[in-house]
Chain A
Amino acid sequence: MKYADSRSQLMQPFKLLSALAVVVGAMAVTTMDSWINDAQARGLSAYGRGAYVRPYRPIDTVGRYQQVEHPAAVGYAAGQRAAYNTAAAVLPYLPDNCSIEDDNGTIYNCNGLYYRPYYQGTEVNYMLVNPPQ
């Protein structure tokens, strides 16, 4: 009994800390999630009733095709800021509140994450890139 009590007292600060960590983590994830989901909602589902399922191959050709890779939310390079490891590497649409970062107007600063549009096949996607030097 005594032993258990002291242990629980000992654990108290850790519990508090871990609870805090969970809350902070959840907030971060929620912000990022709503950010990505919103982009997906506009890019992948016009109706907000679920995302489009990506077909296993193109639907509009019988013969030759090359399936373009559309990696989902994968981390960028190791050693990047933590945000880069949780942000979506590829977005079909830019999130809100992005500002143009360079003269050509092809790099966007989205809350400190930098995106650049590329053609993947015939689709334009915005890909996470290194911050401009």
Chain B
Amino acid sequence: MKIKRRLPLFRITYLVSVLSVAFVATSAQPADVEPKADQVLRKASDFLGTLKQFKIDADSTSDHLLSTGQKLQHAEGVIVSVQRPDRLRVDIKGERRNLQLIYDGKKVSLLDTTRNLYAQTAAPATIDAALHHAVDNFGIRLPLSDLLYTNSYAVLSENVESGFYVGKSEVRGVKTDHLAFRADEVDWQVWIEDSRTPLPRKLVITLKWMAAAPQYTVWLSWDLSPKWSDNLYTFVPPANARKIDFLPVQQNTPPKR
């Protein structure tokens, strides 16, 4: 569902909603996916979709390749706060970047806390629509965004070609079911808690067509009854922060002043 051409916003939103409805209506289990793997993934997605609020505290590592072929690893901590349907906050503190993103139901504000530069854009009224808007128009991708859509099954399984149930496994003391999928661009694995709260506890994504197959690994802790502070979803620019613009997707040359 990547939209390559630039379309007016309402057409994108319209297209996205029509496609999602069509997708849900027709989505049988993708080709060559072991029924048990599909079933566990669907159960997790359905459960995630029912949550009204949650907080994820995640640790991740990603591989970065140097032109010499040497592989480096960079870590980051991500805290995702979600209050459905219209509040989202993502705090990233890592070796390569430090970011804060706040969606308050009306706009998306993104702050690079290292450089003290921020940008804002008006956004649609729900988290799902805001995520689509951010991706389609500005190329803003957030770690763990796959799990934030109300229908994460559709997003995760969109390009899946095959998948199977690996087996029972324990992730940081939590009993999980380990699933492995292959998609057109990536291979990915997910470990889903084997309990009445089937939450993803670990996710691994492999860029299989790239030399040395760099990987992203993330471990997730969940808080399903978080206590928010009053101003958690209010963006306040720090002192001396400067406001800049988001460059729209596919605008390859710098804009004129």
Chain A contacts to B: CB under 8 angstroms: 45, 47, 49-53, 55-69, 71, 74, 76-77, 89-90, 104-107, 116-124, 127-130, 132-133
A62-B186, A63-B146, A68-B249 known; A118+B244 contact, CB < 8 A? yes
Q: Which of B129-145 contact A (CB under 8 A)?
A: 131-132, 135-136, 138-145
Compute the total of residue contacts between A and B using a CB distance below 8 Å: 163
The answer to whether B158 and A119 touch across the interface, beta carbons within 8 angstroms, is no
Q: Which of B183-218 contact A (CB under 8 A)?
A: 183, 185-186, 188, 203, 205, 207, 209-211, 214-216, 218
A57 to B110, CA, bound (A): 21
The answer to whether A55 and B244 touch across the interface, beta carbons within 8 angstroms, is no
B247 (CB) vs chain A CBs: closest residue: A118
Measured between C-beta atoms, what is the minimum distance from A94 to chain B in Å? 10
CB-defined contacts of B209 to chain A, threshold 8 Å: 56
Interface presence of B56 (CB below 8 A): no
The answer to whether B141 and A61 touch across the interface, beta carbons within 8 angstroms, is yes
Measured between C-beta atoms, what is the minimum distance from A105 to chain B in Å? 5
The answer to whether A68 and B207 touch across the interface, beta carbons within 8 angstroms, is no
The answer to whether B1 and A55 touch across the interface, beta carbons within 8 angstroms, is no
CB-defined contacts of B216 to chain A, threshold 8 Å: 59-60
A65 to B194, CA, bound (A): 29
B3 (CB) vs chain A CBs: closest residue: A66
Interface presence of B11 (CB below 8 A): no
CB-defined contacts of B14 to chain A, threshold 8 Å: none
The answer to whether A49 and B70 touch across the interface, beta carbons within 8 angstroms, is yes
The answer to whether A105 and B138 touch across the interface, beta carbons within 8 angstroms, is no
The answer to whether A121 and B65 touch across the interface, beta carbons within 8 angstroms, is no
Interface presence of B245 (CB below 8 A): yes
The answer to whether B67 and A59 touch across the interface, beta carbons within 8 angstroms, is no
The answer to whether B110 and A122 touch across the interface, beta carbons within 8 angstroms, is yes
A107 to B209, CA, bound (A): 39
A71 to B251, CA, bound (A): 10
From the candidates A56, A67, A105, name the one contacting B207 in the complex (CB within 8 A): A56
A100 (CB) vs chain B CBs: closest residue: B242
The answer to whether B110 and A62 touch across the interface, beta carbons within 8 angstroms, is no
A55 to B62, CA, bound (A): 12
Q: Which of B81-89, B112-120, B167-175, B223-231 contacts A (4 or more CB under 8 A)?
A: B112-120
CB-defined contacts of A117 to chain B, threshold 8 Å: 115, 117, 244
CB-defined contacts of A63 to chain B, threshold 8 Å: 145-146, 149, 152, 155-156, 158-159
The answer to whether B62 and A66 touch across the interface, beta carbons within 8 angstroms, is no
A104 to B67, CA, bound (A): 37
Measured between C-beta atoms, what is the minimum distance from A9 to chain B in Å? 48
CB-defined contacts of A121 to chain B, threshold 8 Å: 138-141
A117 to B119, CA, bound (A): 11
